[in-house]
Amino acid sequence: MPEAPAKKILIYDATLRDGAQSEGITFSLEDKQEIARQLDAFGISFIEGGWPGSNPVDDEFFASLPQLGLKRTQVTAFGSTRRHNIKAADDQNMRALAASSAQWCCIFGKSSEFQVNQALRVPLEENLAMIEDSCRYLKVQGKKVMFDAEHFFDGYRTSHDYTMKCLTAAVKGGADWLGLCDTNGGSLPDFVSGAVAEVVRTYRVPVGIHAHNDSELAVANTLAAVEAGAGLIQGTINGLGERCGNANLCSIMADLVLKLGYRIDAPDLKGLTALSKSIAEIENVVPFPGLPFVGERAFAHKGGMHVSALARDPRTYEHIPPETVGNTRRVLISDMAGRASIAEKLKELGLPDDQDSPAIIERVKDLEARGYQFEGADASFELLVRRMRGEIKPRFELKGFRLFIDAVGDAKLTSEASIKVTDLNGNEEHTAADGDGPVNALDNAMRKALTAFFPVIDRIKLTDYKVRVLDGKAATAAAVRVLIRSTDGKSSWTTVGVSENVIEASLYALIDSVEYAIYKENEGNKS
């Protein structure tokens, strides 16, 4: 007999609504539309678009759905059950859901005696009526309904019979899905598994899971729910959400497909890392580098013995090939680096492994003893190797610079940099520029001067700037390490500088950034 196809799990992304409850996150209409497009392109089954009637942006988003042209996903409107002692048809929230352009509605209601008594403060029977009436009203209005049982697992633990009655009320009202919510994020996988299994046995309506991450178990609880019979997963990209966040869909989708053998609507996972980074960019948050599967460190290797084994077979220290999820392997160069680490790093950068590797190792260890760090500064490492091999010579010379910082009365401090540079032919540029601070002013002045010689500089933008004090005990006399991230719009690179003077450390990193851009431009013109 042919092998049965793997079970399909539906993915429900709540980034636009639940994720927006994360501290510091606010979505514009354009943000929500772009995130929806990207989730649709990836192949997400459902997108929770927002709460109709709660704010103008959500209303505009639902109004714009016909023009978005989404092809793979279905957008869901979110809301609560009707209010106490009012008909569903007379409830403003219910009417807004019914009037939305979304075919699916997801409504939440209390499913714990404690929550009904303490938070909702209505009779227990009235809460059951609110759940049933709300589901039935939306069904009559032609909507498909998901009922999210808020605080389900807490209620299942403390008021089992009543919590199950809440699900029964939703089923009587015509709910198409039952969503079981670990709202406070305090449940453990074995408990979740047992509770989900009972619900799956009890009702013919399919079951979903909505887990929060307050115990660092949202992903584990979600996978346990799926193994117990849940067929729909709610979560957010990168685990964004209130408090400690929601279940991280990036990890969950990878685990489902690669570890457990389930299917999802996404055709493959090779776009997973790009999706993670792109959504974070729209949210204006720095992606956490330690995220499994999609993080910058997910396949980063530092120890020499590890790298030596990786060179023989990547499976020695990697649980999956990084390209499976669109990520890349990174070999980190540090004072722990050995011959294998340098060889692998040179290979990664497309550089030959010549006999000078021992000299490179010693140079790296010497610089790191002085505070340099090449783990996250590949561009500076590549320049170091090429300089040692005589492949790169300085294309310009910094003749001098001056910084001016002014404060007039209560006005904001202003910074201005004046800089003088020459090219290899002795041509000189002497320019000045303002900036938000001394480093920004110096960066602007340098780019302004060098653009006359190297037009590629005009496309470069500084995207990140980090300063690390290397010895806090030395106070203001401590050496600092500066890491600068730059981009030309197509690729990004990081450079490093170290000095007891933060301006000088920044200057070293800026010069490396510019020299790397010039080198790459010249190499591209040769090919």
Residue 243, Cα to own-chain centre: how many angstroms?
A: 16
Superfamily name with CATH number, domain 10-283: Aldolase class I (3.20.20.70)
What average pLDDT score do residues 73-85 get?
Answer: 95
pLDDT of residue 1: 38
What average pLDDT score do residues 163-172 get?
Answer: 98
pLDDT of residue 335: 46
Tokens for 36? 């929806």
Instruction: Give CA separation, 12 vs 17, 123, 213, 251, in Å.
Output: 12, 32, 17, 14
Cβ neighbours of 149 (radius 10 Å): 30
* DSSP state letters, 453-479: T-GGGGG-EEEEEEEEES-GGGGGG--
What average pLDDT score do residues 144-173 get?
Answer: 98
Per-residue pLDDT tens digits for 252-306: 999 999 999 999 999 889 999 989 988 987 887 877 888 999 987 877 776 556 6
Euclidean distance between CA atoms 131 and 487, whole angstroms: 52
Q: What is the mean pLDDT of the chain?
A: 87
Query: Is the pTM of the predicted complex or chain greater than 0.85?
Result: no
Nearest Cα neighbor of 171 from 135, 195, 137 is: 135
Q: What percent of the chain has pLDDT over 70?
A: 88
Instruction: Give CA separation, 258 vs 189, 314, 497, in Å.
Output: 20, 17, 41
Per-residue pLDDT tens digits for 211-220: 999 999 999 9
Per-residue pLDDT tens digits for 306-327: 656 666 666 777 788 889 998 8
Higher pLDDT, 9 or 328: 9
Q: Residue 2 pLDDT > 70, yes or no?
A: no
Where b means 16+ CB within 10 Å and e means fewer, 344-371 reads: bbbeeeebeeeeebeebbeebeebbeeb
The 8-class DSSP code of residue 246 comes to B
Q: Which residue has the tokens 């190797």?
A: 385
pLDDT of residue 285: 80
Q: State the Cα angle at 273 between 304 and 351, rounded to 5°.
A: 40
Higher pLDDT, 149 or 433: 149
User: Do 186 and 216 contact (CB within 8 A), yes or no?
Assistant: no
The 8-class DSSP code of residue 355 comes to T
Q: Residue 133 pLDDT > 90, yes or no?
A: yes
* 3-class state of residue 247 by DSSP: coil
pLDDT of residue 124: 96
pLDDT of residue 476: 53
**Nearest 5°: phi and psi at 460?**
-85, 140
279: left (phi over 0), alpha (psi -120 to 50) or beta: alpha
**Nearest 5°: phi and psi at 141?**
-80, 5
Q: Where are the domains of the chain?
A: 10-283, 300-369, 396-526
pLDDT of residue 75: 96
Per-residue pLDDT tens digits for 467-485: 878 765 555 556 888 888 8
Superfamily name with CATH number, domain 396-526: Alpha-isopropylmalate synthase LeuA, regulatory domain (3.30.160.270)
Q: Do domains 10-283 and 396-526 have the same CATH topology?
A: no
